[in-house]
Every structure is written in C-alpha cells, then in structure tokens.
Amino acid sequence: EAQVTQNPRYLITVTGKKLTVTCSQNMNHEYMSWYRQDPGLGLRQIYYSMNVEVTDKGDVPEGYKVSRKEKRNFPLILESPSPNQTSLYFCASSLSLQGLNTEAFFGQGTRLTVV
C-alpha cells in the first residue's frame, strides 16, 4: 500500500531535549516536505527536499533541521525544542515538484507537546 509513515504519532517532551520525528514513504517520490498545523493558521511549510541531499527552507524553518540521506526518509529534527513548537506536524511527499498537477500524499501526523 502506498503510504507516508510518520513516527511517533504522539510525543510529549521537555524544553531543550533533542528529538527526531521520522518520515518514510514507499512510493519512490522525489519531493518531501514537513508542515506544522496550528489553529487558525492552516499548514505552514517548515522544510522541503527536492531529492536526496537537496533540502531548502520553507516558511517557518527556525528551530528545525532536516536531512535527506536516502530517497525514502526525511526526518525532522528539533535540536532544542521550545514550547512554541508545540503543534501538529505533517510529512508529505509527491512524485516530483515539477508538474503542476502532482498531488501530495500526507502522513497521519505527529502531535508534539513541549513542556
């Protein structure tokens, strides 16, 4: 089954403790991205990657890191989480960024709480 898998689904952590949210897709997609969803703000893009070893900042990259060492994986790293990073996070992938009609496939989401 074609899917985007995020782990964990729920995470509560303390300020300053490094964490990683994993994302994996099994569709051989080139393009992957991370979003955060906050009430009233919709989805805002954190980082995206157009292919292996190619990453770029989205609209709200501060406090986050990503890496793309393999095509299927795109982990999101919070080196020193803060309470304002409490949010619902989504990973998405699509076949490529080229092509207007390419739809995105989303993971189930990770609800992160930083206390």
**By CB under 8 A, is residue 19 in contact with another protein?**
no
Distance CA(88)–CA(2), nearest Å, equals 22
Distance CA(12)–CA(115), nearest Å, equals 7
Number of residues that bind another protein (CB under 8 A): 24
User: Could you tell me how many helices (H) and strands (E) the chain has, helices first?
Assistant: 0, 11
**By CB under 8 A, is residue 52 in contact with another protein?**
no
Decide the pairing of beta strands 10-13 and 110-114.
parallel
Compose the 64-103 pattern: x for residues touching another protein by CB under 8 A, - for all others: --------------------------x-x----xxxxxxx
User: Applying CB under 8 A, which residues contact another protein?
Assistant: 4, 35, 40-45, 48, 50, 90, 92, 97-104, 106-109
